[in-house]
Structure 1
Amino acid sequence: MPTAHLSQRPELPVRDRILLTAHDLFYREGIRATGIDRVIAESGVAKLTFYRHFPSKNELIRAFLAYRHERWMAWFTDALQRHGAGRGKGIDALVPALSEWFADPGFRGCAFLNSVGELGGALPEVLEIARSHKEAMTKEIEQLLPPSRRRAKDAQTIALAVDGAISHAQFDPTPETALKTLERLVKLVRGAA
C-alpha cells in the first residue's frame, strides 16, 4: 500500500492535501508524535485554512481513520484478487496479499491497532472505528472461505491470526516468520472445518 508524496499532490484540493499529509505522518510517525503545526507546514496551508477544514486534531484523526479504512480495504480486496481469490484460490490468496503489504518499505503495521494503542482511552471513538474496520476485514476474509456453518467463526479466528501477523511483522527484521505462522494457522483452521 504505497503512499504518494506531497510533491505528487500539489494540485489536490486543500482539504485532501491536509488529509493525505496527516495520513502519511500519522501512519509513519504516530498520531501523538505528529503535531498540528507539522501537518500544516508539510501540507503547505495556512493555520486558518487548516482549522477551517479540521476544527480540531480529533476531527483530523477521525478523518484519517475513515480515509485509511477506505484505502486499506480497497487495497486488501484488490490484493486478494491479484493473488487469485477470484479464481478459486479463496483463502490461499490471503498470505501472498499480506506479504505484498509487509514488504512495502512504508509498512508500519495496522493503523487501527496503532491508533487504539495510542488513543483508545483518550479518544474512545477510536475503539469503535477500529472495531468497525476489523469487522469489515473479517467479512472480507469470510468471503474467501467455502460456505459452511463454521464460516463466520473460522473467519474470526483467521482475522485474529492476521492481526497477530501484522503486529509481529512490525518488529521482526523479516516478515517471513509471521507469514509462515499465519499460513500454518490458516491451514489448521481450514483443516478443522
Structure 2
Amino acid sequence: MAPPSRRDDLVVAALRLFLNDGFHATGIAAILDVAGLTKMTLYHHFKSKEELIVAALELRDRQFRDWLFGRMQAIGGTPRSQVLNMFDALGEWFRGEAAIGGGGTETFRGCPFVKASAEYAEPGDPIHRIAGDHKRRIVETLGEMCHKAELPEPERLARRLALLKEGAIADATIAGDAQAAAEAKMMAVRML
C-alpha cells in the first residue's frame, strides 16, 4: 500500500475537524494546522473548501460503509441475523466503541451526512448530493442483504430498515440515547 499523500493528509485532517466541529465552523487555517501543511499545498489539491468537504465526505462514506457492513458480517449469524446486526453496530457507534476508518474509536457526534446536507441545503449542491448518495448506498446494500436473506419485498424492507436506522441516529444525537439502536432493533425484528 502506498504511503499517504499530502492530499490524503489534508482530507483526513479535514474530516476529523468536520466531524468534531461542523463544516462551516471549521476554518482552512485549522485544517492546515492539524495537517501540518501550507495554504499553497491545499490549493494545489483543491480549488475551494467545498471541494475539500466533498473529498472528506467521500472518504467518510467509504469508511462508514466498510465499517458498518463489515461489522454486521463480523457479528455473524444467518443472513437474516446479519441484517439485524446493523442495530448492534449502531449501538457500538453511539457508545463510542466503533473504530471507523481504521483509527481508534471515535466519539459519536451524529451523522455527518445529515449535518452536511443541513449546512449545504440546496439539493443541487455537490455537498448535499454526496450526502444523499451515501444514504442511497446504505439502502442499496441493505436491499442486497435482505434479498440474500430471502426476506419479502427486500427493497421496500431495506428502505424501512434505513428509516429505523436514521431515527435511531437522530435520537442518539439529539436525546443522547445510546439505547436508541436497541429500541430500533426491536422494531426491526417485528418487521422481519
TM-score interval for Structure 1 and Structure 2 normalised by the shorter chain: 0.7 to 0.9
Query: Which piece of structure 1 moves more, 60-69 or 131-140?
Result: 131-140
Q: Quote the residue 2:158 is aligned against.
A: 155
Specify the code of the residue in structure 2 equivalent to 1:171: I
Looking at structure 1, the residues matched to 118 and 80 of structure 2 have their Cα atoms a distance apart, in angstroms, of: 37
Instruction: List runs of 5+ in structure 2 lacking aligned partners.
Output: 97-105
Q: TM-score, normalised by structure 2?
A: 0.85
Instruction: List runs of 5+ in structure 1 lacking aligned partners.
Output: 1-10
Q: Quote the residue 1:133 is aligned against.
A: 134
Looking at structure 1, the residues matched to 42 and 68 of structure 2 have their Cα atoms a distance apart, in angstroms, of: 31
**Percent identical:** 28
1:109 aligns with 2:110: yes
* RMSD between superposed Cα atoms in Å: 2.0
Looking at structure 1, the residues matched to 191 and 80 of structure 2 have their Cα atoms a distance apart, in angstroms, of: 18
Q: Quote the residue 2:67 is aligned against.
A: 75
CA contact (8 A) 2:168 2:184 kept: yes
Q: Quote the residue 1:181 is aligned against.
A: 183
Give how far 1:148 is off. 4.5
Q: TM-score, normalised by structure 1?
A: 0.85
Runs of 4 or more consecutive aligned structure 1 residues displaced over 4 Å after TM superposition: 85-88
* Equivalent residue pairs, number: 179
Q: Quote the residue 1:169 is aligned against.
A: 172
Looking at structure 2, the residues matched to 107 and 164 of structure 1 have their Cα atoms a distance apart, in angstroms, of: 15
2:11 corresponds, among 16, 19, 24, to 19
Q: Quote the residue 1:52 is aligned against.
A: 44
Specify the code of the residue in structure 1 equivalent to 2:110: G
